[in-house]
A and B are shown apart, each in its own frame.
Chain A
Amino acid sequence: MSGEEEENAAELKIGDEFLKAKCLMNCEVSLILEHKFEQLQQVSEDPMNQVSQVFEKSLQYVKRFSRYKNPDAVRQVREILSRHQLTEFELCVLGNLCPETAEEAVAMVPSLKTKGRAHSDEAIEKMLNDLSLVKRFE
């Protein structure tokens, strides 16, 4: 990450390596950590003893702050968001916070409206609408 550019996610100046690194939504992390925990349950009688505090509390956090629980729903969410020319970072913030209006979405992810990007309010509303449909049929 270049030292000269100050990190600022609001303007998408978060360092190239993170833009390319795979960012995960809370609901995806929930599936990953749940799966790990289940694997532990298969080999240990007392899986809670085997996991660290950080693992346990992270799992609690992502379970609590995930709108989508079902693996198919989670896949659909990423698919829908991927169709809208977002960076991995923007995709995950939106997937995590589930804004209900375009105004809210832009407040949470101001980089959507930076110069040269084609995200009209209508396009954002359509995207949010598609997301809300996923929730309904979970």
Chain B
Amino acid sequence: MFCLSELEDTVRVPPDLLKLPLEVAIKKVLQKLFLDKVLSIGLCVSIYDIKSAEGGFVLPGDGAPTYKVVFIIVVFRPFVGEVIAARFKESDSNGLRLTLGFFEDIYVPAPLIPRPNRCEPDPCNRNQMRWVWIFEEQEYIIDDSYQINFRVENISYPPVPTERAEDGAIDDDGLGPVSWWEGCSERNNEDDDT
């Protein structure tokens, strides 16, 4: 889910931004450092507010002032056990892939798809397999017609350590190195099952 998180950081404001009001300049630097990056607390979506900025001292040998800034960011962070609404993206014989739009690495492995079910070639898309859930003698094709609620079972991070923003080593497209596996529950007009 989305959370507000308070952080403190030392922010260097480059000289070309100094013509702007201080808060605007600091916000621009924070946006560059944090937006779309995956931190330990989650994926940073927006800078919410700057609580305080102190200092502004220019260190020897540097042309730019440095501030100690306390600020609040909006992050997205999944929790194991949390139920989240998503949309179907694609499926194959291993299972489903779901998406939130800003995050697309959500996988539901076959054993966690509601049973009874079956997997068959998708008549509309020869390269894909589709999953059909059978409930009370009704068949529900798992596709993008409905919102899919899923429960987060596991969150995994890549083996490559991610560096702080300054190095630019964090994934640029902002989707971060997280993948989750979860049990799938489909929400439709007739029935809800978790």
Decide: A54 near B102, CB < 8 A? Known: A22-B3, A32-B46, A104-B192. yes
**Interface of A: prevailing SS:** helix
For A60, give the chain B residue with the smallest CB separation: B101
Please, which residues of chain B bring their CB within 8 A of the CB of A26?
Answer: 1-2
Are A61 and B102 touching (Cβ within 8 A)? yes
- The stretch among A71-79, A88-96, A124-132 that forms the contact with chain B is A88-96
Distance (whole angstroms) from the CB of B87 to the closest CB of chain A: 9
Q: What mask results when residues 54 to 87 of chain B are scored 1 for a CB within 8 Å of chain A, else 0? A: 0000000000000000000010110111111100
Q: Does B95 contact A (CB under 8 A)?
A: no
**Alpha-carbon gap, A62 to B101, bound state (A):** 10
**Alpha-carbon gap, A57 to B175, bound state (A):** 11
For A62, give the chain B residue with the smallest CB separation: B2
Decide: A8 near B102, CB < 8 A? Known: A24-B1, A26-B2. no
**Alpha-carbon gap, A65 to B150, bound state (A):** 14
Within 8 A of A (CB), among B7-52: 35-36, 43, 45-46, 48
For A61, give the chain B residue with the smallest CB separation: B101
Within 8 A of B (CB), among A1-33: 6-11, 14, 18, 21-26, 28-29, 32-33
**Alpha-carbon gap, A26 to B36, bound state (A):** 18
Q: What mask results when residues 167 to 182 of chain B are scored 1 for a CB within 8 Å of chain A, else 0? A: 0000001110000000
Q: Which of A54, A60, A62, A107 contacts B194 (CB 8 A)?
A: A107
Distance (whole angstroms) from the CB of B183 to the closest CB of chain A: 11
For A33, give the chain B residue with the smallest CB separation: B46
Please, which residues of chain B bring their CB within 8 A of the CB of A108?
Answer: 83, 149, 194
Please, which residues of chain A bring their CB within 8 A of the CB of B35?
Answer: 52, 54-55
Q: Does A97 contact B (CB under 8 A)?
A: yes
Are B74 and A93 touching (Cβ within 8 A)? no
For B149, give the chain A residue with the smallest CB separation: A97
Q: What mask results when residues 26 to 59 of chain A are scored 1 for a CB within 8 Å of chain B, else 0? A: 1011001100100000000000000011110110
For B5, give the chain A residue with the smallest CB separation: A21
For B187, give the chain A residue with the smallest CB separation: A97
* Closest 7 pairs (CB-CB, A-B): A9-B81, A10-B81, A57-B102, A57-B101, A9-B79, A107-B194, A54-B174
> Can you list 25 residue pairs at the A/B interface with Cβ under 8 Å?
A6-B80, A8-B80, A10-B81, A14-B80, A18-B3, A21-B5, A22-B4, A23-B2, A28-B2, A29-B2, A32-B48, A54-B174, A55-B36, A57-B100, A58-B46, A61-B101, A61-B102, A89-B79, A96-B1, A96-B84, A96-B85, A97-B83, A97-B149, A108-B149, A110-B81
Interface residues of A (CB under 8 A from B): 6-11, 14, 18, 21-26, 28-29, 32-33, 36, 52-55, 57-58, 60-62, 65, 89, 92-93, 96-97, 100, 104, 107-110
Interface residues of B (CB under 8 A from A): 1-5, 35-36, 43, 45-46, 48, 74, 76-77, 79-85, 100-102, 147, 149, 151-152, 173-175, 192, 194
